[in-house]
Structure 1
Amino acid sequence: MMRNRAPRTARLGLGVALVCCSLAALPLTASAASWTGSRLVPDPGFEESTSSAARWSVSGQSGAVSVVSSPVHGGHVAARIADTSADEGVSLRSEHLAASPGEELTASAWVDRVSGQGGYLYLEFWKADGTTRVSAVSTAAGTGTGWQQLTARGVVPDDAVTATVLAYSNVADQGTTVWDDTTVTTLPPPARRVPNAGFEEPREGTRPTEWTVSAPGGSATVVTSGAHSGLRALRIADNSTTGEVSALSRAVPVTAGETITASAWASGTTGSLYLEFRRSDGTRIEPPSKVDVGTGSGWKKVTVAAAAPSDATTTSVRLYDDQKSTGTTTWDDVVLRSSLDSAYAEAVGTGTVLFVGDQRVESYANVTRSVHPGTKTGDPALASVGTGVVLAGGAWDGNPRVSGTVLPAPGGGYRMWYTAADGSTCGYCTGYAESTDGIHWDRSMETHSVYPYGPGGVVANPASTGPRYYMLHSHGPDSPQSDHYYAAQSNDGKTWTEMNSGNPVINGWDVVNVTYDPSTSRYVAMTKQYPVGYVANTNPAGPRTVWMSTSTDFVHWTSPRPSFAADLRDDAAITDPAPSGHARWSEVYGMPAIRYGEQYLGLPWVFDITDSPTTLADPGPDKGRQHVELASSQDLLNWSRPSLGNLIAPGAAGSWDWGWDMTGTTLLTVGDQVRLYYAAFAGQHSCSAGDVSAGLCTTPFGNSRVGLVTWPKDRFASFHAGAGGGSVTTRTLSPSGSRLTVNVAPGSGSLRVEVLDADGNPISGYTATDATPITSDTLGTAVGWGSRTTLPAGPIRLRFDLTAGDLYSYTIS
């Protein structure tokens, strides 16, 4: 993520300029040893070939890179770069490692500077297209000959999805270097995260969104130049010796006794980083822990750690300049690490691993990724109101929509709970319908709302006793009680009563999506959490983001924790124009999190804002369109989303699902088909006819319908291999099962699965040569290696070699 200047500008392959600096000396955080894991660089010691670097790409001088048997640091061979040009550099780049935003990678390699100058080790981060580099960090070889280890460390930026290791001889360097034994280690993304930790949220302009500023001695403003990473940073300018300046982050939950390590990057010589703990009533526990920025120029990483006291419930970070000093310091990239953070877990139960995210992916080469929009499937009787429609507006529910839920009904068929809003008889309430096939819906048994508030998801109670159904809901955005979520229960799905004596069960505002996870026996609520003390049009509301809470009884919920937010990629992907002088940015309006096989699938509703009343704290009148994407997670806190493709293809302009898509909370598997119910408005959010006349938007809000999209089982996203084929390698697996099946459409090609040991070496009897090729389109066929039909004991890795077509998932059972 570094953007500092190196002594030279280095020209590398793919025609991009590299400007960066050394991070070799960065300290690891206090508890890092317990979380650190290994990543496998393909062919790390260049042992797979005796003539060239088999899995590494070369750019620069022809013939400058070769594999040699002497000198070597380990194994039998090493890679030599012989740079003989004064105006052309030479680079040797590894295959792409899958990387998750927030993951901290450390690349190391051994280099022998045989003669002359040269020798740089780079860690590079790349966008999803594989050719656009986001940032890079580097370290240079020291003088002299003999083997030395170089190290480069960096955090994966929000808009990067892969990383590569690069051995490099600079443009102005002439000489010979030999490289060997490359390694990459990782610290996984942290479980405790500061909202807007990089100050990238643009909602409030120069004010740091989701931070509380107190500046009697000067100012704390967001700047768009000189950031440590990304586009923005926070500049604290203290010009008074009698008044301090501080910016306090949103509070995040902690557990008594856990050790929290806070870090931030600072450029300046005044100010301090504080780590603060608070009690349940919001009072600060004294004294806070702090560290001063210190002397020296350029960006410095400052770190402070402390154990959470026994009465602590939350922690916050404060960026502070006291009243005794004056000066200016720029801050960026705040990170919280916890002693409760966990490393990568290699155990795999019986379940499907989708290639939606990269939690189980180590590396890949010569493949592209894509999300596959569902097929719109509707009631033929409703074709006149839109393709894929299964529920149109009725007499009392003129704008039916999901967020809501569809569940199998006892005894067969399906039940739907949906939000009804016609603006008169029912503003935000719950409608109910039944179906025998999930396509033709009947609401004649309930010709009015079954509950006065819209459903934030309905879940079936898995217990044999108690109510059959639970629901979370808010009281609507215009209610005095809109800053909480409430629970309700029902025995038949039609008659609902309040739980918890009518008291709220979670703090939050507006949208909530609740699901049930049978693998952990927990209810999962994905909520909005606006800052405490929010008052419409008075206090800053902050951006729309998603927080996570869980419960085992539907009444007692864990404290909400930050889970998902839009990032720079979403902002850059907006194509709709904004009115003159208006900025464009994305927020996440809501997101169900649904257990599916070995992962959770997130369905983020990405709101592309093209007009915002920035003078108001209330974001309600924001205008723009909304689309649905796809993400995956193992822990509900860190999400992988390497492809930003639409999960539901928007309809043509003017159609019912062109403007504002949202989803239900269930993915229903019916035979070999997966169903997702969704709803949409034809127009843009909060767009009225008057707004259209004023040029603030193009299509008025309204004309909602409920629709259905379907997929063949597991086929939401894939790796695609074109001409020449490609490969995907998993991270280490220690599965509880031994039978491997795959979901693949190889087209005119084939798929072979090779089993590797933890170090990436093919296991005898399970090589690609031993593997039986799969040549047919299949939703699930067993993989074999000659007479072998079961996997060897773990830890293992799987390498999928695909000559053409799409690879969607694998299952170990």
Structure 2
Amino acid sequence: MTLTGKTSRLIVALGLLAGGLTVISAPAAVAATAVARLLPNADFESSATTPAGWAVTGSAVATVASPTHSGVVAARVTDTSSSTGVSLRSTRITTLPGESLTASIWANRTSGSGGVLYLEFWRADGGRALAVSTPLTAASGWQRVTAIGIAPDDAVTATMLAYSSLTDVSSIVWDDATVASVMPSLRKVPDAGFEEPRGGGSPTEWAVYAPGGSATVVDTPVHSGRAALRTVDTSTSDEVSVLSRQIPAAGGETFTASVWANRISGASGVLYLEYYGSSDTRLTAVTATVPAGGWRQVSATASAPSGTVGLRVRLYSLQSTTGTTVWDDVTLKSTSEPSYVSALAADATVLFVGDQRVDYYTGVTRQMNPGTKTGPVLSGVDTWDANPRLSGTVLPGGPGYQMWYATSTGTGFAESVDGITWSRNGRTAAIYPQAMHGVVQNRDWTPESGGPKFFMLRPAATGDPKPRHYYPMQSADGIIWTAVPGSSPIPGWDVANVTYDPVTGRYIAMTKQYPTDYAPPAVPPGPRTVWVATSTDFAVWTAPRPSFAADVADSGLIPIGTGKHGTTAWSEIYGMPAIRYGDQYLGTPWVFDIAYSPNRDNGDPGPDTGRSHIGLAASSDLVNWSRPNRTDLILPGPVMSWDWGFALTGTTLLNVLVDGEWQTRLYYGAFAGEHSCTAAAVSAGDCTVVQGNSKIGLISWPQDRFESFHGAGTVVTRPLSPAGATLRVNYDPGPSGTLIVSVVDDQGEPIRDYAATDAVAVTANALAPGVAVSWSGRTTLPAGPIRLRFDLTGGDLYSFTIS
């Protein structure tokens, strides 16, 4: 609910005790399970005169035999200048957006002063996204220094940096570095970093109530990214309150809400974690006060009481105080968060699309591999199906394949024997008056069982009790549809993509969301984002939670000059299906690059003009997505061609045997022109190519060959506990490459009989299902947990499977 007027001020004046509300202070820390990450030469023992595997800035770095914290040698950094620093930087390890890293190292300052440990997060373009630092405190002797940070959304790798300090002269010995990580949270706060570009200076997706001052988005100071939120309280009788959207939560869970805060002046700044029941009734809250002293992470922890359905985070300035606070990088953690799961199911292909299974890589680069386009395979034949397009679904069935696709009048239906030549079988009208947003086969259907064979979600129609919702539907033949008995609609608007996960037995709905908790002007309209809900019966669904959004890296890739009327173009996510594929989910985000928005900060975003392109992402939990490569999965055609302007994808990836070789197929739709680009909009200078002329095409790859590690280098996995024992790799050596696979332990040391010298090199093109790897006649892996080390002299490594 929105706090307004005297009621709001009274509740706050009473410390939020009204209506049975309880405030809890002095929170306890949330327990989390950390997993050790593999840091090459972390103890500096694999070294000669300089630390191997570490990058050195400055010349005064050497290994020494004394003092050491453990082992035979350590690394000494000697800084003789008060104007330059000397640094020792580790190999980059992979990180997932939202992953928490704890970097520690032992340090002994033998002379002088200074010394700092940095934990750095890096973007794919090589720029540093965030750095967290901890200085040495003891004057001498061995001390353990630790830096903790959460990876920003655009970070793909992280490093540890042992630094001498810029203005100090010192000699410091470093030894026994470690890095541990905790998987990203399953709860996200929308616009947690205040980076979303809409809002006209106000934070999108947050409700602002500021009778005592103001709350605005600023570009300095920031903790990470390019923006933060500044609250200014100039009144001793009124407050400033900034309240997040509600996030699903359940009674019995213990949550920690954290925020980075910088108290610029005064005594202002309190973090609230609030729990809500049905009818938006607030049940309980916990607070934490922002201390002075620059950027500080502030956390509040409390258990959700019985009856909790959701939580909110409030950034607050008390009525009785004044001051200025800057806020950034809000996070949520729960005691029910999953840890990293090393278990790997038999035959579950691990693609090198995301980094859920990758610990670190050196030398190689990430490469997106363009598929082969066919088509268009379906074009409009009459006014009833003008501009046919996917979003939609292609499933095996009928004579070979069945397609449900969007038309100008609803949903079209076509069938094909080979998946390339399609027939409407004489139909001259849409089978349903609205577009279907993903069709799935009922997991319990058999030819003998009868009942519905297919499910889908339809958008709300005139007369439905809940607008901006999706209603579950069922069908025995895929053509005649009725409501799923006992079902309830789920929130969403304009776009939904429904898939089925056979591994967990869940139906997945990825729906587009806009802020609907509050009516403008209480909260500015936010961007297009994707939320996820799941169901085991297609009738009852979990409450949607934030899943996928564009970030600063997407906007940064838009060509300069794309914006119209002085607009700096930015990216949003128009839609995205989540498709189970082996060990991971694959997402094909429809990245909408907005060139001009006539209602940017107030009103309907429908008239936004611009193009969309298709990316590729991977996830293990449907909430946190890894995108180390932002290159287009589907390259657009030339200007004015049917697939130049605005691309969408279907909800299935199909593996098909063609001429004795397996290939992966993805169907997609596209408009020749731009979103909402009418002739009048072209004349007004809002866009350049009129929308329309949509068709459906097909793109295919040799199976699993979407994205690869390319070139010469090394890739090492995170720990694996496979159910299978036979390792197969999907690898293309190119002209002269080779691949050596060794098995290493948790310290990165080769396991006996499975070292690189035991491995039989892979030198031939190993198409799916891949070639079996062997070691001196051994064809089965040792018992897990293990790590796999891939050493390439060239070529492309796409995936591996353990069966």
Distance 1:297 1:80, change over 3 A: closer
Contact 1:746-1:776 at 8 Å conserved across structures: yes
Distance 1:570 1:492, change over 3 A: same
Report the identity percentage: 56
1:96 pairs with 2:92: yes
Cα distance in structure 2, aligned partners of 1:320 and 1:793: 53
1:743 aligns with 2:730: yes
The total of aligned residue pairs comes to: 760
Of the three residues 321, 330, 337, the one matched with 2:333 is 337
More displaced stretch, 441-450 vs 468-477: 468-477
| 1:31-82 C-alpha deviation (Å, 9 max, x unpaired) | 5543222212111112223343222222322xx3333333221222222334
The aligned runs of 1:546-625 (5 Å cut-off) are 546-575=530-559, 577-612=562-597, 613-625=599-611
Deviation at 1:512, TM superposition (A): 0.3
Q: 1:30 to 1:675 in 2, by over 3 A?
A: farther
Compared with structure 1, are the counterparts of its residues 482 and 418 closer, same or farther at alpha carbon in structure 2 (3 Å cutoff)? farther
Distance (Å, rounded) in 1 between the aligned partners of 2:557 and 2:32: 37
- Whether contact under 8 Å (1:453, 1:475) holds in the other structure is no
- What is the one-letter code of the residue matched to 2:778? R
Equivalence for 1:403: 391
Deviation at 1:30, TM superposition (A): 4.5
> 352, 357, 360: which is aligned to 1:363?
360
Q: Is residue 2:47 matched to residue 1:67?
A: no
Quick one: which of 406, 431, 435 aligns to 1:450?
Answer: 431
Match of 2:299 in 1: 303
Pairing partner for 1:154 from 149, 157, 163: 149
Cα pair 1:101 1:161 within 8 Å, conserved: yes
**What residue number does 1:23 align with?**
none
- The aligned residue for residue 386 of structure 1 is none
Structure 1 match to 2:226:
231
* Structure-2 residue corresponding to 1:255: 250
| Residue matched to 2:48 | 50
How many Å separate the matches in 2 of 1:611 and 1:482? 27
Q: Structure 1 pair 393/771, CA: closer, same or farther in 2 (3 Å)?
A: same
Residue deviations 1:177-202, cap 9 Å, x none? 32211101122211111111111111
Shift of 1:88: 4.8
Contact map agreement 1:192 1:337 (CA 8 A) in 2 = yes
Partner of 1:8: none
Question: What are structure 1's unaligned runs of at least 5 residues?
Answer: 1-27, 379-388
Query: Offset at 1:568?
Result: 0.7
The residue aligned with 1:430 is 411
1:639 pairs with 2:625: yes
Q: Does residue 633 of structure 2 align to residue 652 of structure 1?
A: no
1:734 alignment partner in structure 2: 721
Does structure 1 residue 510 correspond to structure 2 residue 490?
no
Residue 468 (structure 1) aligned with residue 465 (structure 2): no
Report the residue type matching 1:43 in the other structure: N
Range 554-563 or range 80-89, more displaced: 80-89
Cα distance in structure 2, aligned partners of 1:409 and 1:587:
35
Equivalent residue in structure 2 for 1:373, among 370, 383, 387: 370
Rounded to whole Å, the distance in 2 between the matches of 1:705 and 1:115 is: 71
d(CA) in 2 for partners of 1:712, 1:264: 45
Mark the CA change 1:333 to 1:536 in structure 2 (over 3 Å): closer, same or farther: closer
Task: Say which SS state the counterpart of residue 125 (structure 1) adopts.
Answer: strand
In structure 2, which of residues 210, 223, 226 is the aligned counterpart of residue 215 of structure 1?
Answer: 210
TM-fit CA distance, 1:446: 2.3
Amino acid at match of 1:668: L
Deviation at 1:115, TM superposition (A): 3.4
Question: 1:584–1:336: structure 2 CA closer, same or farther, 3 Å change rule?
Answer: same
Amino acid paired to 1:106: T
Deviation at 1:462, TM superposition (A): 2.0
Aligned match of 2:183 in 185, 188, 205? 188
Query: Could you tell me whether the CA contact under 8 Å between 2:585 and 2:618 is conserved in 1?
Result: yes
Flag the 1:771–1:133 CA change in 2: closer, same or farther, 3 A.
same
Q: Distance in 2 between matches of 1:119 and 1:330?
A: 28
Q: 1:290 to 1:169 in 2, by over 3 A?
A: closer
Contact kept in structure 2, 1:482 and 1:510, CA below 8 Å: no
Tell me the TM-score normalised to structure 2 length: 0.91
1:112-131, aligned counterparts within 5 Å?
112-117=108-113, 119-129=115-125, 131=126
Q: By how many angstroms is 1:332 displaced?
A: 1.5
Cα separation, 2, equivalents of 1:481 and 1:540: 22
Aligned position for 1:280: 278
Distance 2:133 2:74 in 1: 21
Quote the residue 1:530 is aligned against. Answer: 514
Amino acid at match of 2:357: R
Letter in 1 for 2:549: A
- Measured in 2, the distance between the counterparts of 1:534 and 1:419 equals 31
**Residue pair 2:207, 2:523 contacting (<8 A) in 1 also:** no
Q: Distance in 2 between matches of 1:580 and 1:35?
A: 50
Name the aligned partner's letter for residue 121 of structure 1.
L
**Mapped partners of 1:308, 1:603: distance in 2:** 35
Local SS of the residue matching 1:102: coil
Q: In 2, Cα distance between the equivalents of 1:290 and 1:307?
A: 13
Residue deviations 1:757-799, cap 9 Å, x none?
1121111111111111111111200111111111100111111
Could you tell me whether the CA contact under 8 Å between 1:118 and 1:176 is conserved in 2?
Answer: no
Amino acid at match of 1:558: T
> Relative to 1, partners in 2 of residues 1:510 and 1:435: Cα closer, same or farther, differing over 3 Å?
same
In structure 2, distance between residues paired with 1:800 and 1:280: 52
Provide closer, same or farther for how the CA distance between residues 138 and 601 of structure 1 changes in structure 2, counting only shifts above 3 A: same
Amino acid in the other structure paired with 1:472:
L
Q: Provide the C-alpha distance between the structure 1 equivalents of 2:542 and 2:755, rounded to a whole number of angstroms.
A: 47
SS at match of 1:95: coil
AA of the residue aligned to 1:553? D
RMSD (CA atoms): 2.1
